[in-house]
Amino acid sequence: MKKQRNFIDFRIRGIALHLLHKPLAKLTHEQLYEIAKILYVDGPNECQIWTLEIYKWIYDYITNYLTKEIKTSIRPLSEMFYHHVGEQLLELLSSKNEYIRVNSRNFWCDSKRLSTSSHHRLMALFDQLYSIKTENGYLNYSTNFLLECTTHNPYYNHFIFENSLDKYSFLQFPLTSTQEISNRQQFIPTQMLDNNNNTNYNWLKQTNTLDSINTFTLLALSTQTKKNNIIYC
């Protein structure tokens, strides 16, 4: 009986949210803020869907309001309003419902809200889209937003290979490598230093700091070479 009652309550709540979505444009600034405070993002899918639609509309409204830079007595209220609605929308990015997650990500990825420039989007991820409430899901959705930038690249729809791979001929290319350098022990140079020598060891030069050899230059060793093969097309 209790389960049936909850089902009826959720249906009523879903209908109420649907009806609430229609007159949003006619409500005042303060009324919209009061609505945003009483909504919550959990519940069955239908309720979450309409909650998402309401928050999306309110977020765009408050963003447009703040960008006008109207210096009024309700501006502090507007900034609280903005952060609250933004946090709620970020929580919906981690919804268990796939439709709601995708819908939320598409909302944020719009160029009106997140720049298609990788640099500006990266800054926005730190400045606008981080919240303590969504910290557990932050790495997930921030990575998705960065990867989404690639879809705006003019080369995104180009094929990596113009033809199928079976039309390419693959050849063997001899690759020479220095076996002794790649396999030698890294701590041998330090063992060769005099124990009484207080000179610091330079790991970049692999010698002591008084040595004039250029940085990254390897020590002269009697080496053996072997040939490997690498495949390329």
Residue 159 lies in a domain: no
Residue 74 lies in a domain: yes
pLDDT digits (tens, 9 = 90+) for 190-200: 555 555 555 55
User: What average pLDDT does this structure show over 221-231?
Assistant: 49
pLDDT at 75: 66
* 140 lies in the same domain as 36: yes
* 22 lies in the same domain as 52: yes
pLDDT digits (tens, 9 = 90+) for 79-107: 888 888 999 999 999 888 888 889 999 99
Residue 103 lies in a domain: yes
DSSP string, 140-180: HHHHHHHHHGGGGSTTTTS-SSSS-GGGSPPEEEEEEEEHH
Closest to 82 in 3D by CA, of 32, 118, 124, 119? 32
Query: Highest mean pLDDT: which of 73-77, 155-159, 206-210?
Result: 155-159
CA-to-CA distance for 55 and 32, rounded, in angstroms? 10
The larger pLDDT score, comparing residue 26 to residue 177, is at 26
CA-to-CA distance for 68 and 62, rounded, in angstroms? 10
* 59 lies in the same domain as 174: no
Residue 123 lies in a domain: yes
Residue type at 129? L
* 136 lies in the same domain as 176: no
* 135 lies in the same domain as 185: no
The count of other CB atoms within 10 Å of the CB of residue 84 is: 17
pLDDT digits (tens, 9 = 90+) for 118-137: 888 889 888 888 888 888 88
Confidence category of residue 159, pLDDT binned at 50, 70, 90 = confident
Residue 156 lies in a domain: no
User: What average pLDDT does this structure show over 128-153?
Assistant: 87
The larger pLDDT score, comparing residue 176 to residue 132, is at 132
What is the domain extent for residue 218? 167-192+203-232
Distances (CA, A) of 2 to 10, 84, 144, 230: 12, 33, 40, 68
pLDDT at 57: 94
* 49 lies in the same domain as 125: yes
Domains held by the chain: number: 2
pLDDT above 80 for 230 = no
pLDDT at 177: 60
pLDDT above 50 for 213 = no
Residue 183 lies in a domain: yes
Q: What is the mean pLDDT of the chain?
A: 74
* 142 lies in the same domain as 185: no
| Cβ neighbourhood burial of 4 (10 Å; 0-12, 13-18, 19+) | exposed
Closest to 55 in 3D by CA, of 79, 83, 75? 83
User: What average pLDDT does this structure show over 168-186?
Assistant: 62
pLDDT above 50 for 156 = yes
